[in-house]
Structure 1
Amino acid sequence: MTDGPEASLLVEELDEAIAVIRLNRPARLNALTREMVVELNEALAVIAVNRTVRAVILTGSGRGFCAGQDVAAADARNRTAPSGLVERYYWQEQFAGLVDRIRAMPQVVIAAVNGPCAGVGMALALAADIRLASRSARFLNAAVRLGLTAGESGMSYFLPRLIGASRAFEILITGRTVEAEEAERIGLVIRLTDDEALMDEAEALARQILVNSPFATEHTKRLVWQNVDAPSFTAAIELENRAQILASMTEDYKEATAAFIDRRPPRFQGK
């Protein structure tokens, strides 16, 4: 990954516990090239094994979050050196791997959606654990208009689970735009902010998460995502019971109960 303000991907630290990943091609509304996909996969992998980082804010530079795949770059390849089946499938897996990494990483991922959020950019936002959006945000999966399916990078998995199957089907099959106000109303994002306040809101949310036990936070993320697909209520309860007993054996649980009785803030150590 290239360093400096001209890099197509910037990774910053607000402090040792909060990382910011910023897509940085503002002139192209942060549309993803193949090179950026490689860089973003690498950045997510590095952060995932950094146990000091507990929250990640994903956002874009300029007036957009991510316009999806860089269609101009794809068109240039199609005109000059079109990819064969094996190459296309490889890159499809690299794009889809981004959402898999976001979901699997132990850190809580907050998508701070500033402006247009389309295609694989929308998939990245859906894969995040929490979504905030500016009032200028717009969500769009126009794959059906480009001769492709709307099942892109986990979109057909995440969207029905977030807003319901019927509403998700209508959005994906028409390829229409979801404006910020609708996104908040249907639960696609938790709340809207003024554009200039978005990153402050995202940081405040991250810090609200940091006051809790690291073990409890990480395993709550695991529980929620795994129980979305639980085969039964009984299976979900079994998983919850296991995680709860494990949490009750940590030093942080003992510290939390002592702090509650002593009426003081807990001092979690992640143990």
Structure 2
Amino acid sequence: MKRQYETLLLEERGAVDHLTLNRPESLNALNPTMVDELRNYFRDLATRPDRRIVVLKGAGRAFCAGLDLKAEESHALDTVQQGLAFQRSIAEIYIAMRRCPQPIVTLINGAACGGGLSLVLASDIRIASTTVKMNCAYIRVGLGGCDMGSSYFLPRLVGSALASELILTGKFINAERSLKLGLVSQVVEPEDLDAAAEEDIQLMLGNSPLGLRLSKEALNVNIDIGSLEAAIALEDRNQILCSQSKDGKEGMTAFAERRAPHYQDV
């Protein structure tokens, strides 16, 4: 049974989830309800192998303007303990995004600020529209510039020098610079965002389900791994797991027979 949300729209198209942040009147800012719904959604994916890919986007003219500082619940934090608990509840979204086995394709339109930028950074494939403006907004509201995984994701994506520039200044970067920095893989017109993702989606759906899940796992683990030998050991383990599965045998047989494979996730 498909779950109903207050702040999200979920459309299942075959094995692909199309998840839309749906608070356009607030530029899809993260209020406590959206925080809870996003965290629970991405956590639940760990037990949903039938869902193979997630496409994430924002309704209206922005992707996500970050934390909703106007929400009353965001200010009702009277103690350090309450503040830390709320902070951690938001951070768990990004951890769950990296842990879930499904690749996440994020389509970015308009503003992606603060926690919205971190949603982009925690994704696997990022496609931007020409309207994109992104920044590490945290430092611009009296907080530290390192928040919601930004100090982890940005240096790994663009290097420490550029990450320092973005985190310490909070400056906006547009679509053109985002592409040059490697933050996004494509820039297209706003009306072409969905179409731009379709090629990648279809190619991923044409790969074995186990191979796709283990590939995301290896990419995330090996970016922090201590040695080449350890990285190769994980790759070797994954290849043997895949090759001994029925889908692995089907993939090799289909290649030899020059036909499309028929995968069943077995």
Q: Partner of 1:182 in structure 2?
A: 177
Deviation (angstroms), 1:223:
0.5
TM-score by length of 1: 0.93
Aligned to 1:256: 251
Distance in 2, Cα, partners of 1:232 & 1:37: 36
C-alpha separation between the residues in 2 aligned to 1:35 and 1:47? 19
AA aligned opposite 2:25 = A
Q: Does 1:120 align with 2:115?
A: yes
Q: Percent identity?
A: 38
Looking at structure 1, the residues matched to 68 and 16 of structure 2 have their Cα atoms a distance apart, in angstroms, of 29
The 4+ residue runs of structure 1 with deviation greater than 6 A are: none
Secondary structure at the aligned position of 2:70 is classed as helix
> Which of residues 123, 145, 150 is equivalent to 2:140?
145
Q: Deviations over 1:207-246 (max 9, x none)?
A: 2211001111100111111000011111111111111111
Report the CA distance between 1:146 and its aligned residue.
1.1
Q: What RMSD in Å do the two structures reach over aligned CA positions?
A: 1.7
Partner-residue secondary structure (3-state), 1:11:
strand
Q: Note closer, same or farther for the CA distance 1:207–1:83 as it changes in structure 2 (3 Å cut).
A: farther
Whether the aligned pair in 2 keeps the contact of 1:77 and 1:83 (CA below 8 Å) is no
Task: Write the letter of the residue equivalent to 1:199.
Answer: D
CA deviations over 1:145-183 (Å, ceiling 9, x no partner): 211112111110001101111111111101100101100
1:253 Cα deviation from its structure 2 partner: 1.5
2:110 matched to 1:110?
Answer: no
- Confirm or deny: 8 A CA contact 1:25 1:61 kept in the other structure: yes
Determine if the alignment matches structure 1 residue 197 to structure 2 residue 192.
yes
- 1:3: how far off? 4.4
Q: CA deviation at 1:204?
A: 3.3
Q: In the alignment, residue 137 of structure 1 is paired with which amino acid? A: V
Q: Which residue of 1 aligns with 2:38?
A: 40
Normalization by structure 2: what TM-score? Answer: 0.95
Residue 96, structure 1, aligned to residue 95, structure 2: no
Measure, in 2, the Cα distance between the counterparts of 1:138 and 1:234: 40
> Where does structure 2 lack aligned partners over 5 or more consecutive residues?
none
Query: Structure 1 109/77 Cα, relative in aligned 2: closer, same or farther at 3 Å?
Result: closer
SS in 2 for 1:268: coil
Number of aligned pairs? Answer: 265
Kept after mapping to 1: 8 A contact 2:77/2:83: no
Instruction: Provide the C-alpha distance between the structure 2 equivalents of 1:179 and 1:111, rounded to a whole number of angstroms.
Output: 16
Of residues 237, 241, 247, the one that matches 2:236 is 241
Q: Deviations over 1:103-155 (max 9, x none)?
A: 00010111111111000010011000111111111111121121111211111
User: C-alpha separation between the residues in 2 aligned to 1:2 and 1:262?
Assistant: 42
The verdict on how the C-alpha distance between 1:181 and 1:49 changes in structure 2, with shifts beyond 3 A counting, is: same
CA distance in structure 2 between the partners assigned to 1:125 and 1:211 by the alignment? 25
Q: Which residue of 2 aligns with 1:208?
A: 203
Structure 1, unaligned runs of 5 or more: none
Find the counterpart in structure 2 of residue 267 from structure 1.
Answer: 262
Kindly indicate whether residue 15 of structure 2 is the aligned counterpart of residue 10 of structure 1.
no
Decide whether the 8 Å contact of 1:2 with 1:8 is kept in 2: no
Provide the C-alpha distance between the structure 2 equivalents of 1:226 and 1:192, rounded to a whole number of angstroms: 28
Letter in 1 for 2:99: A
Shift of 1:82: 4.3
Contact 2:31 2:74 in 1 (8 A): no
Matched AA of 2:108: V
Deviates more, 1:81-90 or 1:50-59: 81-90
Q: 1:127 to 1:248 in 2, by over 3 A?
A: same
Match of 2:66 in 1: 68
Aligned to 1:84: 79
Does the aligned pair in 1 maintain the 2:7–2:23 contact within 8 Å?
A: yes
Match of 1:153, SS state, is coil
Question: 2:8 is aligned with what amino acid?
Answer: L
